[in-house]
Amino acid sequence: MIRPLLSLLLPLILTCPGLDGPGPDGSGPDRPGPGDKEYKNPVFEPILADPTVVKADDGYFYAYGTQDDWGDGNGSRLIPTVRSKDLVHWDYVKEAFTRKPAWKEKGGIWAPDVVKVNGKYHMYYAYSTWGDVNPGVGLAIADSPVGPFVDQGKLFDSRDVEVPNSIDPFYLEADGKKYVFWGSFSDKPTQGTYGVELSTDGKSVPDLSKKVKVAAGDFEAVMIQKKGDYYYFLGSKESCCEFEKSKYHVRMGRSKSIFGPFLDQEGKDLKERGTGTLLLHGNDVYAGPGHNARWVTDDAGADWLLYHAISKAEPRVSSGANRRVLMLDKLTWKNGWPEISNAGPSIENRPAPLFK
């Protein structure tokens, strides 16, 4: 009886959290667990690309990522959703959509931006394929952060707004008005990052002709956030998705106006190519860090940035997708500019955010 009993118990012993690899909460022999004062990257895996984060009424942070096939046999997730109390320990919840939006024949749902607008959860998302000549931005709305998000249709596509590669939407409220910013890479003269005012309910764009260009066409994944007197523009450059060879990185500028001019530390306008002060780049362990969410301020007043990166040791999943894991690092401020230690993803245990 001993041998059969051991054969039943052995798989449980070998997979016990803390004995061999990370447990369901991400903890393990070399990774802090819940309640610890330290954390170690990545904070979620295998994939949560192009993350956005929102604090919900239930006290949880919810993060959402681009549609991806994790290589686990469950197919391509239509905007995976995870949640956390502390930005460190994330649990998978569900897909945000039950079906793809119908306003475009084919494509993936990319780079969502989820925010709370007028008591509802708005998801501004890109709908595109690689090399798409007419990608666009849509809106879905839910009563709950876990959805299901009900599609409201297209806000605009590249033809409507006359901006090539119209993806990567970002929502911003300022001075009592609502705006959406968007844009991605292109060599065309009209390409760049643009912003335009939304309707008061955030569901439409009254006048697309009033769009304003704020950055050049070598930026994507715009994030604009105010601290003190300035709006800070964080944008990603170069290749997001070349596995361990990815050169993605984050550069920044700042302005006292949401429409700029956004200037880097050398005083150069981000509307010119080749500009932007470096905030974050790859290192020996992680390639292609970028497409960050809004920073989150903890109860100690520290600011934290979520973004994705690719482990050079494990750059892909079995589906062939880039293994873009969720990363977390602290922003410190010096002379009115944010910094990340060593300008790269942290690879050792670090003090965790403080949430009471």
In order, the DSSP letters of 25-72 are TS-BTTB--TT-SEE-S-SB-S---S-EEEE-TTS-EEEE---EE-SS
**Considering 50, 157, 168, 329, which one is annotated as catalytic?**
50
* Residue 36 is among the residues annotated as catalytic for this protein: no
**Considering 45, 95, 132, 220, which one is annotated as catalytic?**
220
CA distance to 27, 86, 125, 329, per residue, from 38 (Å): 11, 11, 33, 12
Supply 223's token pair. Answer: 């994030």
Q: Are 307 and 293 in contact (CB under 8 A)?
A: yes
Cα 232 from Cα 225, distance rounded (Å) = 5
Instruction: Annotate 120-156 with b (16+ C-beta within 10 A) or e (fewer).
Output: ebbbbbbbbeeebeebbbbbbbbeebbbbbebbebbb
* Residue 50 is among the residues annotated as catalytic for this protein: yes
Report whether the peptide linkage leading into residue 261 is cis, meaning its omega lies within 30 degrees of zero.
Answer: yes
DSSP, collapsed to helix, strand or coil, labels residue 277 as strand
- The radius of gyration of the chain's CA atoms, rounded to the nearest angstrom, is 20
Counting Cα atoms < 13 Å in the Cβ hemisphere of 35 gives 0
| Catalytic positions, written as ranges | 50, 220
